[in-house]
Structures are given as structure tokens and as C-alpha cells.
Chains A and B, each alone.
Chain A
Amino acid sequence: MMNILVCISNVPDTTTKITFTNNNTQFNAAGVQFIINPYDEIALARAIELTDGGKGTVTVINVGEANTEPTIRKALAIGATDAVRVNANPHDAYFVAKQVAEYAKTKNFDLILTGRESIDYNGSKVAAMIGELLDIPSVSIIKKLDVDGSSATVEREIEGGKEVLTVPFPLVAGAAEGVAEPKIPNMRGIMSARTKPLQVMEAVPVTTLEEVVDYETPAPRGQVKLVPADNVAKLVDLLHNEAKVI
């Protein structure tokens, strides 16, 4: 029996045009669709594959306020066994990692999975922070995850290649593309999601180590300079002499 904890975060859907309010200090959530962070969905799909057929349980945990419940129910519909919501605004990666670690300390998870990063803050921090807080190994960006008895074999991406590691349980890993195909919830999953347990817990206090001060949208780029298709040499000339990139 393998017990897996999957951390999921609630993020703006990938087609969202990102804007800010309050003098650029707040993300403008008006009219935005929220989804499970795509990398977390990959982690969840793998967890379900590994425990399929009664071979274990998959608990999903989210740090968020009541507005994240539809996203958590979606994870249950996809196939998680049960869910936990730590009732707090996910202030930063350290805050989230602390909540997850506190919860995980009371249980016996073999494997804790996150996505490699969230598409809102692109942090890649939570998995490693959970690992450090629990004093267990972490592999931050994995492309493959297999388990064998009481250990995992993972492939971690490096520049120009990959490393294959064997890590004994318990460990934390951040799933990247390739670990699994995201699962689409079926009708049975959607129906059962309504009654699967969703426990709400209070957050533990955490020292604040970082604060987002404000945001900036990138400066719009100028007009494109079109080069005729029959004079490609001109592009080479522009790239060398004008842009100076070759």
C-alpha cells in the first residue's frame, strides 16, 4: 500500500491575459478562469497510475481559501482518494511548504509530489522546501517516475541531458512534462468527487521571508520589420549589423 500526497495549486488558466489592479500590486482575478496548475495535474495523474487498483491512496492538499474548492473537487474527480484544504491565502512558496510539511508530519506518506513549478510564480521551490523541512530527499524537476517496493527511480533533467537516481521512500519530487499524461475525469469520477472527503484545516503561523511588492507587464515590442521572402540575405544583414545578434 503506497500513500501519496499531491500538492495542487489554483492558478489562472493558460489563455488568461494577465493584468493587475491597485497600482499594479494585485493580480486582477476578475473574469479569470482558474485551473489546477498543469504540472500538478501531471503529478496527480502519475500518483493515480501508481496506486491504481487498490494499491494505495492519493491525498491532494491545497493551501487556499474557499474559492479553491472547485479546483480541489476537480482533483477528486480525476481520481484522488481524499483532499485537504489548508484555509489560508498561499502567501509564498515557503508558507505553502510549511503548511504541507506540518500536515505531512502527522501522516506517513511514501511519496510527496508537486508540479515542477506553478505557472503563476514559476517558483520550483515548494518541493525542495518540503524536502528540507521534513529532512527527506527532494528531486525538483523530474521527467520520469517509477516505484519499486520502497524506493523510487526518477529521471531528473539537467542541461543537455538527464540523471537517473534511485531514492528511498519517503521523498518529494516535482513533476515535469513526460511523467504522465493528464487524466480527464470521467462521469463516475465527477459524481464521486462530491462525496469524497475534503477536510479543511487551519494554517500554522509562518515567519514571512518574502513579499511581492508589485508587478509589471512587459513593455510592448515595436512594429515588426518585414523582410521580403525573395531577399533573405537582407535578414542576415539586419541580424548582424542592426540587431547585432549574429
Chain B
Amino acid sequence: MSVLVYAENADGKFKKSIFEAVSYARAIADANNTSLVAISIGNVGNDQLTALGKYGADKILNVSNDKLKNFVNQAYASVIAEAAKKENADVVVLSNSFSGRGLAPRIGVKLDAGVADGAVSLPDQSSGKFLVKKTAFSGKAFARVELTSPIKVVALTPNSYQVVEKAAAGTVEDFSVETKESDFKAMLKDIVKATDKVSLPDAEIVVSGGRGLKGPENWGMIEELASLLGAATACSKPVSDAGWRPHEEHVGQTGIAVSPNLYIAIGISGAIQHIAGISASKVIVVINKDAEAPFYKVADYGIVGDAFEVVPKLIAAIKEYKASA
């Protein structure tokens, strides 16, 4: 028995959300008194791979097959399932990233394993059952799901579990695996990346704008504030529907759900659907000129005032704070 964690790499490096998944998997391995094996696929340097030992990986399987250097959903799912079988893994952990979401269900089917996607905390095994808490109803509730199959697949929501340094052997081992032609039908034509932006699903701080900003030409101050805080930018549904901001920034019940440490909402009234998408935020700040805006009911901090006056002052105050820090 063991726990297997898929360490997804982004351009050969591991992001914080992957260290979170390794720490999470380590905690499960400790609870089950078993070992933790990590698997990496692609061109990842040895120092990056051994670093996974810092977060608890006893062994790291390195799959550096040239055919797998870019993400191929079907092929990666096959490789991870093969590794799970070889390592006798009874729990497979992934980060619930965009790629993770495509992989976890296929791995589940291959292993006849239940899949708990979007986990927000460690599995509760105290009653002898394997219970995983995840968000449901797009952030309006939580569901506790029991995985009843012998093998379990869990995909962890980024920024839900703290990275823990827990040194383990971290031995890197080459893992070569036979790939199937039929797993490579999807062909990658192009990758487009906006490298200067902070990715919204992983962001620790989010600055979000709504209709109160009146038009796309007024987003400069949102972007400036976000840049100062190292934050991702987001928006409400009416703003993305109007084409002021791209769909990827739409946060809400029919947009993306975010779980940052800090969510700053500017000129957003707080419709129930928007709040659903941000309910996992640890701290919520609302800036709106309407004191009756429903958003204040879920805010931790708020400023009632005109965004066009308050935000520039906030930018100035943060610059001052950074200068004196």
C-alpha cells in the first residue's frame, strides 16, 4: 500500500499548489502508515525533483519519455494509473488544476476508484470510512463524500492546504513506461501564455471589479492595485458578459470559484451567484458606494465610498506601506 501524488510541472518547475498536494498526500500516507511516492512527467531537472523530498516524498518517479514532454491527457492518465498499480497505491492525489481535472476522472475509471474532486481538507478516516469534504452548489455549501472503492483518487483545491516541510528520503528513480499509440490522438498545436499575469485559480490575492467601474477603460487602477499586491484580476458576470474583461476572469457560480487569502471586490454589489464563487476566500474586502450593497453582509472589511476616489487612495496607501516595510 502507498500514496501516489502526481506532481504536475509548469515549464519544468513545481508551483506552490503542487507542494500543497505533496504535503497533503504526505499527511494521508502518515495517517495510513504507508509511504509516499511522487510521480513527475516531462522534462524536470533533478534538483526540482529531489526538492519534493522536502515536502515528504519518499520516492520520486521521473518519467522523462520524450513523447510525454508536453501534457497529453490520455497518455498521462495511463502513465499515472500504471504507476499507481506498480506502487500498489491505494490513494492517488492530484492538484485540482485544469490538467488535474482532466486526469483524475480518467485515472479513477482505470483503477475502478471513486474520485473526490475539489477536496478542501484532509480525508476524515476517523470512523473507518474515507470521507472527503469538497465544495458543492458552486460554493454555497460543502458536501462530505465517502469514497467506497478500495482505491481512492483525491484532487485537492489549490490554496486549501498549507505547505508543510517534512523531510523524507526523496530518492529519484527513472520510471519508464510503455505508451499506447491510441493515447496520443489529441495533438497539441499551440500554447498561449500570458506570463506576466498571476493565474486566478491559484492566486493568493484577487482584486475584482464590477459594473460600478462603469467601463473597461477604467480598469487601469484595478490592474495597478493587483500588480502592487502580486494579485490576480477578476470580475463579476455582467462585466465579462459585456466583454469588458475576458471570460477567464469571471468569478461566480457560472464562472470560476476562487479560494484566495484576500479577495478585494470593487464596485460589485454582491449577487448571490457572485458570492457563491468567492465564499472560500479567507478575507473579503468590499469597496462600494452603496452602503446597502448585499456584499457587505459577507465582507470582513469594507469601505463605503466611490471606487474612483477610494481605489487611488488605497493604491497610494499600499505604496507607502511597501516603502516603509
In chain B, residues 280-325, which have Cβ atoms closer than 8 Å to a Cβ of chain A? 282-286, 296-306, 309-310, 313-314, 316-318, 320-321
CB < 8 Å: which of A131, A213, A221, A246 contacts B229? A246
Known contacts A137-B186, A159-B10; A211/B146 CB under 8 A? yes
CB < 8 Å: which of A125, A209, A228, A229 contacts B148? A209
CA distance A161 to B205 in the complex (A): 19
CA distance A97 to B105 in the complex (A): 10
CB < 8 Å: which of A123, A167, A237 contacts B185? A167
CA distance A94 to B105 in the complex (A): 9
Known contacts A138-B73, A229-B310; A12/B137 CB under 8 A? yes
Are A93 and B105 touching (Cβ within 8 A)? yes
CB < 8 Å: which of B117, B142, B189, B296 contacts A215? B142
Are B321 and A121 touching (Cβ within 8 A)? no
Are A236 and B314 touching (Cβ within 8 A)? yes
| Central interface residue in B141, B197, B279, B309, by most chain A CB within 10 Å | B141
CB distance from B99 to the nearest CB of A (A): 7
**Total contacts A to B, CB within 8 angstroms?**
272
The verdict on B143 contacting chain A, using a C-beta distance below 8 Å, is yes
Are A226 and B272 touching (Cβ within 8 A)? no
Are B102 and A139 touching (Cβ within 8 A)? yes
The verdict on B108 contacting chain A, using a C-beta distance below 8 Å, is yes
What are the residues of chain B within 8 A of A207 when measuring CB–CB?
A: 112, 149
The verdict on B135 contacting chain A, using a C-beta distance below 8 Å, is yes
What are the residues of chain A within 8 A of B105 when measuring CB–CB?
A: 93, 97, 124-129, 132, 140
The verdict on A69 contacting chain B, using a C-beta distance below 8 Å, is no
What are the residues of chain A within 8 A of B201 when measuring CB–CB?
A: 159
**Interface 0/1 of A165-176, CB less than 8 Å to B:** 111100100001
The verdict on B79 contacting chain A, using a C-beta distance below 8 Å, is no
Are B113 and A243 touching (Cβ within 8 A)? no
CB distance from A243 to the nearest CB of B (A): 5
Are B304 and A39 touching (Cβ within 8 A)? no
Are B148 and A208 touching (Cβ within 8 A)? yes
CA distance A107 to B150 in the complex (A): 33
**Interface 0/1 of A145-158, CB less than 8 Å to B:** 00000000100111
What are the residues of chain B within 8 A of A159 when measuring CB–CB?
A: 10, 15, 97-98, 199, 201-202
Are A163 and B188 touching (Cβ within 8 A)? yes
Q: Please name the residue on chain A nearest to B204 by beta carbon.
A: A245
Known: A164-B191, A243-B301. 20 other contacts (CB 8 A): A124-B101, A128-B104, A132-B110, A159-B202, A161-B191, A165-B189, A177-B247, A177-B255, A209-B112, A209-B148, A211-B146, A214-B143, A222-B300, A225-B302, A232-B316, A232-B317, A233-B320, A233-B321, A236-B321, A239-B285
A residues near B (Cβ < 8 Å) are 12, 14-15, 17-18, 20, 38-39, 93-94, 97, 119-129, 131-133, 135-141, 143, 153, 156-168, 171, 176-178, 207-218, 221-222, 224-229, 232-233, 235-240, 243, 245-246
15 residue pairs A–B, Cβ–Cβ below 8 Å: A14-B253, A17-B140, A132-B106, A160-B197, A163-B188, A209-B148, A211-B145, A212-B146, A213-B129, A214-B143, A216-B142, A237-B321, A238-B301, A243-B283, A246-B229
B residues near A (Cβ < 8 Å) are 10, 15, 71, 73-74, 77, 97-99, 101-106, 108-110, 112-118, 129, 131, 133-138, 140-149, 182, 185-195, 197-199, 201-202, 205, 229, 240, 247-248, 250, 253-255, 257, 261-262, 272-273, 279, 282-286, 296-306, 309-310, 313-314, 316-318, 320-321
Q: A-B pairs with the 3 shortest C-beta distances?
A: A229-B305, A209-B114, A161-B193
